Each structure stands twice: as C-alpha cells, then as structure tokens.
Structure 1
Amino acid sequence: MSRPLKIMLVAAEASGDALGAGLAQALRKRLGDTVSFVGVGGPRMAAEGVVSPFDIAELSILGWIEGLRAYGMVRRRVRETAALAAREQPDAVVLIDSWGFTIRVAEAIRAARPDVPLIKYVGPQVWASRPSRAKTLAGAVDHLLALYSFDAPWFERAGLPTTVVGSSALHVDMDSADGAAFRARRGIAADAKLLLILPGSRPAEIARLTPVYEATIRRLKAADPGLAVAVVAAGTVAKDVTSRVAAWPFRVHLVDEAEKYDAMRAATAALATSGTVSTELALAGTPMVVAYRIGALSYELMKRVVTAKHITLFNIAADERIAPEFIQNEASPDILAPAVQRLLADHEAAADQARRQTAALDLMGRGGPDPSALAADAVLQVIEAKRGG
C-alpha cells in the first residue's frame, strides 16, 4: 500500500464484533501504524480502536416481526453509519454479518460514495432460505468473505467475487482450556455431572429461552439433585443473564467469556441456544442439545421460506442430525429434559455423539489457515485492485 489506510468496520452483534476485532488485529499485524479503524461495533472492536457512535446491543433483533417493529430505529442507525462513512472517508468498508442491517448500510454508502470498496464479511445463509439474497448482495457490494466452502457457489453464480476465509470458531485454541481446573475453582467434584447452559448472545434469545432452560433444569435436578449447573453469560448480555439466573431456585455457576472454554471442557453435556457456540462445543468435545425460539408470527413466516433440514452448522455439513435440535414449540422443558438426560446418563451415547460432532468439523474446514489473516489479505487485495482500476 502506498499510503496509510483507514478501514471502516461495521458489526451489529456480538459474533460480528468478534470477527471485526480479529480482522482489525490481522490488518494491524500486516500494516502496523499505517492503518487506522473507524466504524460501528461492540467492546471487542472498541479495544482495537473502533469507536462506535451507538450501542450495537439494540440492533440484535431476532425475527421478522421484531424487525418490523424496530424498523424506524434501524433506519436511524443506518443513516448514522452512512454519515460516519461520509465524514471519515475510509479506503474500504467491511460489513460484518447481520444481513438486515448491513445490506441497508451498503446501499446507503454506495449511494453516497460509489467509489469506496464495499466488502461483506459473512454472507446470508442463502442455502437455507431466500436464495435471491445472493443476487441482492452481488448488486450491493464488491466482494464477499465467506466462512464455508459450501457458501461460495451460491454467490459466485450471482456474479459476486468470493473468498472463502473459514470460520474463526474452527480455530479456537482448546488446548489451553482446562476443565479440571474449572471444576477445582468452583468446587465441583471430578466425577460430578456438570450441565453447561449457553443461553445465547442476543437479548431476545435470553428473554425467550432462559425460562425454558430454568424449567428444564428443574426437571433434571428433580431426578438428580447432585447435578451441577453452569451458565455462560456472553459479554453483550451478561447483565441480563446474571439478573435472570439470580432468581433461579438452585445454585448456578456463572461463567464469563474468560472461563467459557474451560467450562466447555469441564461439562458432561451442554444445552445451547443455536449459534457459534455449537461449533466451539464440538471443538471442546462436549455433547450437546441445541434449542431455538423466535416470535410465533416470525416463525410461521419463516417456515414458508426455510429449506434447510438442520440449523446447527456441523449437522448441515454432515447432512445428519448428529446433535439433537429442538425448534420453537419443541424447545420445551418436557422435550429438552429427556434429551439432555440421555447425554448425562448414557456415557457411551454421549461419547459417540461428541466423536461424530468433532468429525463433522472437518467437513466445515477445520485445520485451515487463520481466517482473520485470510480476511485481511483479501481486504487489502480488494483495495489494491480498486486503486489499480
């Protein structure tokens, strides 16, 4: 690069915040002090120098109906983000995940600054629903950074240049995770059964699923009073999770982000809200049950367009229901409790599921180069090509 660069990074939820922070670190490793960052993000991106003009927690919207209700707020935040791009004049804009928000930001920035390279980091899951979004994205941005090889053909057919960078979740270093140390710190016996709850990273997920998980645990502890329970409180929703769990009528070990991988290693089994944590749990060798709920009307609308057979990525990659999944009304204590109990009680079944979970990660690209480094290289190549053009 012939002169210092200014990169704008835009993320609207916790997973995107982590991706943005990783990309900023990789770019700084390449360019040192000759790169600076502006944009929208959360605490991890803030630690890398991205000062967000607003709190992204309000953009963690779940479901179509909820999205309609928040439409006015989203439009305001889109305008603020586009205004930030106009004011800061970045050399490129990287729009991370969060389809509904970032596609609107892309269109707004494109209208104001047609010359700036727009790069989408994580495409919409067109293989699961609404494949027409591939064409929409191709008309809005210059390049896509995809997480999985099965993403690329959908967008390349629509004319969008795509680089498969891999998923950062597949590169979590579990070697240093210490389950025994976690149990020792929390006073949990080495042979005690430990259930790890991962309620999600969005406010709507927490609101819908923590009551379900509490009722599920009640059933499990009624059968096994000695069952230990730990709950992960993700950074963006930590206060909400903590306040809800504090009212539960049994002891719970709260786990922050720093201890999360230790807790995964320590757990006998996990009950997880669908998301990136399912990949991390598989890496940790922890058998899991996956649950998910959205608003009732949003779910009725979603059923009309979703074609995927599974919601967990390693299940999708394997084309097999390795980890049990329970969606919407099936995500109930009466159904979840027996599924979790099977993993807690049947060691052989739990070990077999954990083995198959881990094997499926190879189909997702485990063992490849560092995704943040590949993403940084691709961003710089897009900028160079734009300048050359």
Structure 2
Amino acid sequence: MASDIFLVAAEASGDLLAAEIVDELHRKQPGLRLNAIGGEHLAARGLVSPIDVAPLSVVGLLEGLRIYREVVALADAAADAIIEAAPHTVALVDSWGFTLRVAQRVRRRAPAIRLVKIVGPQVWATRPGRAKTLAEAVDHLVCIHEMEVPFYEPFGLPVTVMGNPALSRGQKGDALAGREALGVDSGPILLVLPGSRQSEIDNVAPTLLEAARSVKDERPDVNIIIQPASNIRTYFVEKYGDVGDWAMLAPAYAERSNVMSAATYALACSGTVTSELAVQKTPFLAGYHTGWITWALARFLLFKPTHITLLNIAADDTEVIPEFVQTKFQPAAIAAEALRMLGDEDARLNQVEAQKKALARMGEGDLQSAQIAAQVLLSKD
C-alpha cells in the first residue's frame, strides 16, 4: 500500500517516540497515509510491522556482531518494504546502526525518497566522524541537543533540535495512583527497572535483582516492585518467574509514570529511563554492565565523558546520580547504597534537587519533541 510517510523504529524507546510522532501527524494531517516498521506502540496505532525487529534489541559491539547477518537481512527487508510503499518521506527513529543501513539501501535504490533521521548518534560523546556518515545518508536530522548541531555544519546537513523526548513528554505521575495500582498501602517502595533490551535482562537484571533481594532481607518493610519495559516483559517473566516469592511485578496496566512517582528510591538500568525517573522526582542509582571488549573500546577509544548517565553529563560530568558500572556493578555495593538512601530522607531530597538542576540544563519542558519531529516530516525541504 502506498504511503506518504514510512516510519522505522527498531527498539523500545524509538518505537514509543515513533508512536507519539504518529499521533502528532494524525492531528496535523488526518488523512495522511502511514506505514511503519516497529513494535507494540506503533502496532497499537494500527501500524503493524511487516518484519519482526525484536532481534535488534541488543547492545554492545560483540552482541551486534553476533547478529550481524540478521541485521543486514532485516535492513534489506526494511528497504524492500519501503520501496514497495513508495513514500514521500521515511522517518528513521533512533537505532543508529540499523537505521543507517536502511537509509543507505533506500538512498541507493530510490534516491528521490526523502530520508529524515530522528535522534542522531552521540557524536558529542563518541566518534564524531559519524556526522559525515549520516550527512551522506539522509536529508535532514532531528536531534535532541543543541550541542549536536555544530558537528553537522561542515557537511551541510539540515538539523532541527527537538529536545529530549523523555523530558518533553513530561507527564507527571500520581504517587497515590501508583500505590493504588500496586496495592501498596504503606511502607517504602524500592523500584527496580531492569532494562528494555534482552541483553540488559540477561546482563544487568540479575545484579539489580540480587541487590534488591538483599535490601528486602535487611529491610522486610520495604516493598520491592519490579517493572521491566513493556516490550521485554514476557521475556523477563520467563527468565525470572520466581521473583514473586519476595517481590512484586508491577501490573501491566499500572501507569509507568505513576509507579515511578510512588517509588521511594529506584535501581535503574542506565538508559532513557533515568531521565524519566528524574522527571518524576524519584531519587535513584544507575547500573550497567556489558561485554568487556565492548566496554574497553567504548571507555578508552570512543566515549569521551567520565559518566554514562545523561543527567551526570549535563551536570558538568559530575555524579549527581550514583553510577555502578562494570567493576563497580556489584550487588553488595548497590544494596548498601539503596539501604543508605532509603534510610536518609535528607539525602533523597538533596539528590532530587540536584536532578532538577540537571534537568533544567537539559531543557526540561522547553520543547515538545514529537510535535517538532512531525512538523519536519510534513515539511517539503
């Protein structure tokens, strides 16, 4: 079926942003013909993906190499679907490696199709040379940060800044509604957010869960709530079905922002969710672990900042959010920090205040990301 705009999103965060953009596109131009490759959020808008992008939910160099052939095959299939739909514009949302391959294939086969990249690679943190690569592959970039723009100026790529989607989303949660949905009347809540990718459920979740279990052993009054991302929930339950013995899996219907707002403290897999927690004024720590070769390359050759959490980078690369990464990613250390914070209200309030300042530097609430992205897609540049 022919379309006006074709959206491509390969991971959970991109799928959510793409779905929000679809909502804005329909508001601005109700008769627009849309097609999409993506996940459950796009499917909920009636845009069912012709290919399964679930295998792309990996992170890390070695993890990516292991599925390289599958990535190439999926990029070929995505390009085929786009060419068949013959859209005016293609929106390539997040997922740098996959969407770049799709863009290059479409550019080669159908150069008249306009290609818009939504969320660029982190050229300000690692591998600035990717700015030239992207400029050669697409017609327009919709990026998150103002600091990205100068990287593309030498290559003549038009750039529009949309702000951070997690911040412009800005839905403030209701703590009472969160407790009601969880069925928790009293006692502190320790929220565990184990990730949105299968590799994170495999490599990050076990340590966060062990730390939370230690907190429960030390503080039986603490309610342990676990909320995996919706796209990975089934896999999490299959892998950790016994957590119900000592913790509670947040109901699927529980509004994520309400649950975050209700939490006293949180253990989070580093990622977009950290900004979401900060918006909800929930203090937390961030943890991460990946393959050692991937980490060594990222730390010593690619990644420039000392910290990995965007809030910390925004705070002049200082540790507003405690980070437990690689060798520091140990259950005992994480549990000790969680117990300390659960027992110190002043420390929690101080962290929330520091988070608020970091959010201000990131431009909280200044831009409505989906609206701006939709406007770029509808333009004829």
Given the alignment, which residue of 331, 349, 354 partners 2:329? 331
In the TM superposition, 1:200-239 aligns within 5 A as: 200-239=195-234
Report % sequence identity. Answer: 39
Q: Secondary structure at the match of 1:272?
A: strand
Residue 331 of structure 2 aligns with an amino acid whose one-letter code is P
Unaligned 5+ segments in structure 1 are none
Asked if the contact 1:231/1:255 (under 8 Å) is kept, the reply is no
Asked whether 1:278 is paired with 2:259, we answer no
Residue 102 of structure 2 aligns with an amino acid whose one-letter code is V
The equivalent of 1:246 in structure 2 is 241
Given the alignment, which residue of 289, 293, 309 partners 2:289? 293
Asked whether 1:63 is paired with 2:81, we answer no
Asked if the contact 1:23/1:372 (under 8 Å) is kept, the reply is yes
For residue 60 of structure 1, report the CA deviation from its aligned partner: 0.9
For residue 321 of structure 1, report the CA deviation from its aligned partner: 1.2
Whole-angstrom distance in 2 between the partners of 1:342 and 1:114:
57
TM-score with structure 2 setting the length: 0.95
Residue 207 of structure 2 aligns with an amino acid whose one-letter code is V
For residue 258 of structure 1, report the CA deviation from its aligned partner: 4.0
The equivalent of 1:309 in structure 2 is 306
The equivalent of 1:101 in structure 2 is 98
The equivalent of 2:132 in structure 1 is 135
In the TM superposition, 1:357-376 aligns within 5 A as: 357-376=355-374
Whole-angstrom distance in 1 between the partners of 2:333 and 2:153:
41
Residue 145 of structure 1 aligns with an amino acid whose one-letter code is V
Given the alignment, which residue of 133, 155, 166 partners 2:163? 166
Deviations 1:260-309 (A, max 9, x none): 11111111100000111111110110001001111222222222221122
Give the count of matched residue pairs.
Answer: 377
For residue 341 of structure 1, report the CA deviation from its aligned partner: 1.8
Given the alignment, which residue of 252, 259, 262 partners 1:263? 259
Asked whether 1:26 is paired with 2:21, we answer no
For residue 168 of structure 1, report the CA deviation from its aligned partner: 2.0
Whole-angstrom distance in 2 between the partners of 1:253 and 1:228:
11
| Cα root mean square deviation, aligned | 1.6
Whole-angstrom distance in 2 between the partners of 1:255 and 1:322:
30
Q: Secondary structure at the match of 1:247?
A: helix
Whole-angstrom distance in 2 between the partners of 1:324 and 1:45:
34
Residue 250 of structure 1 aligns with an amino acid whose one-letter code is W
Deviations 1:299-345 (A, max 9, x none): 22222221122211121112121001111221110221122222211
Whole-angstrom distance in 2 between the partners of 1:375 and 1:9:
12
Residue 46 of structure 1 aligns with an amino acid whose one-letter code is A
Whole-angstrom distance in 2 between the partners of 1:156 and 1:361:
27
Whole-angstrom distance in 1 between the partners of 2:253 and 2:183:
19
Q: Which moved more, 1:223-232 or 1:251-260?
A: 251-260
Asked if the contact 2:216/2:224 (under 8 Å) is kept, the reply is no
Q: Which moved more, 1:227-236 or 1:303-312?
A: 303-312
Whole-angstrom distance in 1 between the partners of 2:263 and 2:109:
51
Q: Secondary structure at the match of 2:278?
A: helix
For residue 103 of structure 1, report the CA deviation from its aligned partner: 0.6
For residue 96 of structure 1, report the CA deviation from its aligned partner: 0.7
Residue 294 of structure 1 aligns with an amino acid whose one-letter code is T
The equivalent of 1:351 in structure 2 is 349
Cα gap change, 1:297/1:117 in structure 2, threshold over 3 Å: closer, same or farther? same
The equivalent of 1:113 in structure 2 is 110
For residue 112 of structure 1, report the CA deviation from its aligned partner: 0.2
Unaligned 5+ segments in structure 2 are none
Asked if the contact 1:10/1:96 (under 8 Å) is kept, the reply is yes
Residue 290 of structure 2 aligns with an amino acid whose one-letter code is I
Residue 377 of structure 1 aligns with an amino acid whose one-letter code is Q
Asked if the contact 2:166/2:276 (under 8 Å) is kept, the reply is yes
Residue 239 of structure 1 aligns with an amino acid whose one-letter code is T
Deviations 1:203-242 (A, max 9, x none): 0001112211121122212221221111112121011222
Asked if the contact 1:315/1:360 (under 8 Å) is kept, the reply is yes
The equivalent of 1:43 in structure 2 is 40
Whole-angstrom distance in 1 between the partners of 2:212 and 2:91:
41
Asked whether 1:79 is paired with 2:76, we answer yes
Residue 130 of structure 2 aligns with an amino acid whose one-letter code is R
Q: Secondary structure at the match of 1:32?
A: coil
For residue 255 of structure 1, report the CA deviation from its aligned partner: 4.1
In the TM superposition, 1:190-209 aligns within 5 A as: 190=186, 192-209=187-204
Q: Which moved more, 1:221-230 or 1:261-270?
A: 221-230
Q: Secondary structure at the match of 2:4?
A: strand
Cα gap change, 1:255/1:308 in structure 2, threshold over 3 Å: closer, same or farther? farther
Given the alignment, which residue of 336, 340, 343 partners 1:342? 340
